[in-house]
Chains A and B, each alone.
Chain A
Amino acid sequence: MLIVFIFFGIITISSLITPIKNGRIKEIAIICALISIGLYYGIRFAQGEPAWSPLNSLEEWMINSTPFNYNA
C-alpha cells in the first residue's frame, strides 16, 4: 500500500512540471493546494482518524441540530 501511495505521489507531483516550465502560477498554486489537502486526508487515514469535510460537517450539523432530517 505504501508503494502505491509513493507511486501515485510521484505522479501527482510530476504534474507540476509543465506549469512550472511555462510559468503558470495559478495552476502551480492550485496543484499545490490539491496536494496539501490530499496529504491531510492521507495522514488522517494513516492515523485512523476522521477528517474534516464541508458537506459531511453540514450533514452532521443538520442531523443533530435542525429539523431538516427524517430522523427528527
Chain B
Amino acid sequence: MSSVKITKWQMISVGVCYMIGAILHLSEVSATAGRDAWLMPVAGLIMFVPTAAIYCLLVKLHPQKCLYEINEQALGKTLGKVFTFLYMLFFFHICTLNTMQAEAFVSAYLLPGTPVIVCGLMMTAFCAFAIYRGLRAIIVIPFAFGIVSGAYLLFNFLQSVPQMRPEFLRPMLAQEPRVYLHAAHIEATVIYGEIIGLLTFAGMLEKKTKFSVCFIITMIISCLYLILVHLRERTLLGDLTPYVSFPSFGAVRMIGNVTGTLSRVESIYSLVMIAFSIFRVLITLWAVITALKQVFNLQSYTSLIIPAAALAAVYSMRIYASPNDSYIYGLNTTPFVWTVFTFIMPLITLVFAAARRLLTKMPTPNTSRKLPEQGAEPSGAEGF
C-alpha cells in the first residue's frame, strides 16, 4: 500500500486528463458512425456500464488496494502475477500506441520533418523524469494543467460555435444498427476501457473517499467532453471527417481559417493535445513500471524507469508499420482484443474475489458446535 494519498478531486482530474488524452484516437469512431458519431460517447458509456460496475465492485471489495494488489488478493499469488503480467503488456501497448500517435502528430503538424524517434525519446524522457520525481508530480500535473487547459478547450469550443453547421448532422440515426454497435463497441473498449489504468491509483485514494464516486464523475465529464469534440468535428468538417487524419485538430484549423481576429488558434490547441497525450503516456508508463515491480517483488522501481521509458520509445517506432495500420486494427480487431483486458479479465478477478468473500463468510462446522470453555486448550484437529 502506498504512503502517498490522493484526494477525490485529484483522482478525478487524473481520470479526466487521462480520458481527454484519447482525443488523438477518436478518428475510428468518427469514421465508423459518420454523422452520428457525437451520439456514440453516450452509447459507448451505456455499453461500458457493466465494466464500470466491475471496476467499482473490485475496489469496494479490496479497499486501499491497487489493481495489481487486487489481482494477487483475489486470484492468489501465481494467477495474480500472470494477470498482472498481462496487464503490464496491455499498458505497455497502450503507452507505445499513445507515443506513436503523439509522434505522428508532432512530426506531421507541429514540427514537420522532425525524426519521430527524437519526438518519442523526448516525450518518454519527460515521463521518466516525472515518474522519477515521484507520484506527487504525476498527480499535481493534471490538477493544475487540467483546469487551465479545460477552460481553454471550452473557450475554443465556444469560438467554433458560429461556424458550426447543424445540417451536417442530418439525417440522424438513419444508418444500420450494426454501424452503431460497432462504433459503441470501439467507444466502450478503446476509449473508455483504457480507464482501467485509473485502478492502479485506487490504492492511494484517501480512506473516506469513495472510488465509485470519483469514477462516475470522471466518466460523466469525459462523456460530455467527447460529445462536444465529436459535435464540433462533424459540424465543422461534415463529410470530410473520415478523410482527416486527426479530425479534432482539423476542425480547430477550420476556426483559424474562418475567424479574422483570433486566427491560428490551432497552435495552442495542438500544444494542449500533445500535453494530454504525454500525460496519457505518463500514466500508462507508470502502470507498466509498477506492474514490473509487483510481478518481480522488487523493493523499488527507480532503476527500471529509464530502461522502460527507452524501450517504450523504441517500441513505438515498430509497433505498427504506420499509423494507418494502427487505424485499421483499431477499427476492426482492437475492440475485441481490448475487451479481454478491460472486461473479461476484471470479470474473472471479480468472480474469484466474490467467491473468496463468500467462502470466508460461510459458517464453518466449528461454529455450530459448543465452544470450548475458557481456559481449555484449543484442539487443532477439531472441525476436520
Instruction: Name A residues whose Cβ lies closer than 8 Å to a Cβ of B.
Output: 1, 4-5, 8-9, 11-12, 14-16, 18-19, 24, 26-27, 30-31, 34-35, 37-38, 41-42, 44-45, 50-51, 53-56, 58-59, 62-63, 68-71
Contacts and interface: CB of A to CB of B under 8 A. Distances in A.
Nearest to A37: B311
Nearest to A70: B332
A54 B16 CA distance: 29
B89 A4 contact: no
B115 A59 contact: no
Residue from B310, B321, B332, B334 having most chain A Cβ neighbours under 10 A: B310
B121 A53 contact: no
A35 B296 CA distance: 17
B307 A59 contact: no
Interface residues of B, number: 39
B331 A70 contact: yes
Contact of B117 (A5, A11, A15, A58): A5
What does DSSP make chain A's interface, helix, strand, loop or mixed? helix
A68 B334 CA distance: 10
A16 B305 CA distance: 11
Interface string B306-319: 11101101110111
B26 to A, nearest CB: 17
Residue from B182, B313, B321, B332 having most chain A Cβ neighbours under 10 A: B332
Contacts of A26: 296-298
A29 B311 CA distance: 15
Contacts, number: 107
Nearest to B89: A54
Which 7 A-B pairs rank lowest in CB-CB distance, beginning with the nearest? A34-B307, A68-B336, A51-B318, A69-B332, A38-B311, A59-B333, A15-B306
Contacts of B317: 41, 45
Given A4-B117, A41-B311, A56 B303 contact: no
B121 A4 contact: yes
A5 B90 CA distance: 26
A62 B298 contact: no
B303 to A, nearest CB: 5
Given A8-B310, A26-B298, A54-B89, A69 B318 contact: no
A24 B298 CA distance: 9
A37 B115 CA distance: 21
Contact of A69 (B93, B117, B333): B333
Given A55-B93, A56-B320, A15 B311 contact: no
A31 to B, nearest CB: 5
16 contacts: A5-B117, A8-B125, A8-B313, A15-B305, A15-B306, A26-B298, A27-B298, A30-B296, A34-B307, A34-B311, A35-B311, A41-B318, A50-B318, A55-B337, A59-B334, A63-B329
Contact of A1 (B117, B310, B315): B117
A5 B121 CA distance: 9
B232 to A, nearest CB: 26
B118 interface: yes
Contacts of A30: 292, 296, 298, 304, 307
B308 A34 contact: yes
A50 B334 CA distance: 19
